[in-house]
Amino acid sequence: MTVIVMPGLIYLGLAIYYQDSFMYGTWINGIYCTGKTVDQVNKELQEAYVHQDIYVVTPHDVETINAIEFSFDYDFKKSLMEYRRKQNPFNWYLHLMQGNKNENILPVISFEEQFLEDWIINIKSYESNLKMPQDSLQIVLDENGYEIREHKEQILNTKLATEKITETIRSAKGEINLMDEGCYFTREETLEMQQVRELYEKIEQLQKVSFEYQIKDEIRKVEPSEIALWIATDKEGNVEVDNKGNLVFDKNQIGKFVEKLAKEYDTWMNFPFTTHDGKEIILTKGNYGIKIYQQKEVNYLLEYLKSPADVVREPVYSRNITYENRYKIDTTYVEVDMTMQKMMFFQDGEKVFETDVVTGCTTKGMGTPELVCFINSMNRNAILKGKDYRSFVNYWVPVYGGIGIHDATWRNEFGRELYIKSGSHGCINTPLEKMEELYEMLEVGMPVVIHY
């Protein structure tokens, strides 16, 4: 009988013992609480708790609410009682088996609320005395185009700020950003500011359009910063509008843009070329290339700006001769190097043909000019005529005026420096067997580059 009663008395005794104290293995905020009452633990937690200052972020500074100056008081009693109620004293043996368990709880924080109200009023007073610029909206031109710059004074909502800071203090958080919490507001925009914003919306709509030039096989994007310069401004740099509030455009600036575009892409009488041996040259004679018709492009842009939209624009050309609609000569062409007295044919970027030739006689003033031109036609069995000659050729490929590529069966030698004293009348003399081979590769329209 004693064996049965004794364990029961021990169980009951410990249940009574833990009726008003924390169970075995209880740790709260790093403090050992086993067998201690709520009041005892509360006192220890209050003594161990570090007074935490609150940092308040405003648009102008970071202010500090000092916990000691505000008489912060930390009381864990309510949280401790709630936690204690969850521990059933008759289940003390379960806690014994579970071992140590740490719980983190927050205190109820109280403070002098009048101190906070006065503190916020001082913050607002300080901000009111700052010499801040008046509310304004400005349309400004920079390297990326027009943008709107605005300044609006941030005005503190003291009531909301009080509520939000109080919540921060009582939740034991260390920082609050009053702007993120919506504690600042701005004044309503004036009529003048609204008009500025409406004007900027028109500018922004124009700057957002996708405007691209399709120049042969190349795409040239017109940047917003370029379009922005088309908008007319007065002497002070302010954007001009007509009596209906629509943007006014500067024909002179549009002309400068088209001129710049032409300088970038015009190749007529100004053709850049990379020779077979890597030299960069500019050919200023010939009849091959493109030239933008500037006046017609200006007129187009003035009309386009009345109702701008996304567009891919092919410009109007006053000169327009290219091969396979390519902007540059870089894949298929004939190249004549008069210094080396060589003629080559490149197909799809690869040299597939080469021969010695004889070009115009320089001693007699009939030297072949440096040209960028193209194959006008392809002929068999032609008679070439001049003041003092009449020659039959099996293959005749005219490229510029009276200059062409043809066989010269009356010659036994080609290449070297024969052209200086015994050159042609300006044509490219080619061995018959080589001309036969080349003729099969050529077609009308192919570019021909002749250079020293």
Domain ranges, ordered by start, for the chain: 2-115, 132-195, 209-321, 333-451
Q: Give the mean model confidence (pLDDT) for residues 203-223.
A: 97
- Residue 432: pLDDT band (50, 70, 90) is very high
- Say if residue 209's pLDDT is above 90: yes
Q: What is the pLDDT of residues 350-373, one digit of tens each?
A: 999 999 999 999 999 999 999 999
Beta strands in 76-119 (DSSP E): 101-103, 108-110
- Residue 219: pLDDT band (50, 70, 90) is very high
Question: What percent of the chain has a predicted confidence (pLDDT) above 90?
Answer: 66
- Residue 6: pLDDT band (50, 70, 90) is low
Query: What is the pLDDT, as a whole number, of residue 356?
Result: 98
Query: What is the pLDDT, as a whole number, of residue 4?
Result: 56
**What does the DSSP assignment read for 363-408?**
TTT-PPPPEEEE----EEEEEEEETTEEEEEEEEEEEETTEEEEE-
**What does the DSSP assignment read for 404-427?**
EEEE-TT-S--STTHHHHH-BSSS
Task: Give the C-alpha separation, 192 to 203, whole Å.
Answer: 17
- Residue 304: pLDDT band (50, 70, 90) is very high
Q: Give the mean model confidence (pLDDT) for residues 110-134.
A: 82
Q: Give the mean model confidence (pLDDT) for residues 127-131.
A: 78
Q: What is the mean pLDDT of the chain?
A: 91
Query: What is the pLDDT, as a whole number, of residue 115?
Result: 85
Task: Give the C-alpha separation, 214 to 200, whole Å.
Answer: 29
Task: Give the C-alpha separation, 250 to 234, whole Å.
Answer: 11
- Say if residue 317's pLDDT is above 80: yes
Q: Give the mean model confidence (pLDDT) for residues 332-336.
A: 98
CB 30 within 8 A of CB 15: no
Query: What is the pLDDT, as a whole number, of residue 246?
Result: 93
Residue 132, Cα to own-chain centre: how many angstroms? 33
Q: Give the mean model confidence (pLDDT) for residues 257-283.
A: 97
More confident residue, 233 or 96: 233
Name the residue with tokens 């492009």.
297
Q: Give the mean model confidence (pLDDT) for residues 92-120.
A: 78
Query: What is the pLDDT, as a whole number, of residue 106?
Result: 80
Lateral strand order in the sheet of 333-337: 350-356, 342-347, 333-337, 447-451, 371-374
Q: Give the mean model confidence (pLDDT) for residues 220-246.
A: 95
- Residue 93: pLDDT band (50, 70, 90) is low
Query: What is the pLDDT, as a whole number, of residue 330?
Result: 86
Query: What is the pLDDT, as a whole number, of residue 36?
Result: 84
Lowest mean pLDDT among 20-29, 247-256, 319-328: 20-29
More confident residue, 287 or 129: 287
More confident residue, 436 or 48: 436
Query: What burial letters (b/e) apply to 341-377, b meaning 16+ CB within 10 Å?
Result: bbbbbbeeeeeeebbbbbbbbeeeebbbbbbbbbbbe
Query: What is the pLDDT, as a whole number, of residue 75?
Result: 82
Query: What is the pLDDT, as a whole number, of residue 78?
Result: 87
Q: What is the pLDDT of residues 8-62, one digit of tens each?
A: 665 665 666 667 788 888 898 888 888 888 888 888 888 887 767 889 999 888 9
CATH architecture type of domain 209-321:
Roll (3.10)
Q: Please, which residues have CB within 8 angstroms of residue 301's CB and are 6 or more apart in sequence?
A: 230, 254, 257, 258
- Residue 393: pLDDT band (50, 70, 90) is very high
Query: What is the pLDDT, as a whole number, of residue 7?
Result: 63
Query: What is the pLDDT, as a whole number, of residue 131?
Result: 72
CATH of domain 333-451: 2.40.440.10
- Say if residue 339's pLDDT is above 90: yes
Q: Are strands 184-185 and 211-215 parallel, antiparallel or unpaired?
A: unpaired
Query: What is the pLDDT, as a whole number, of residue 129?
Result: 80
Query: What is the pLDDT, as a whole number, of residue 135?
Result: 84
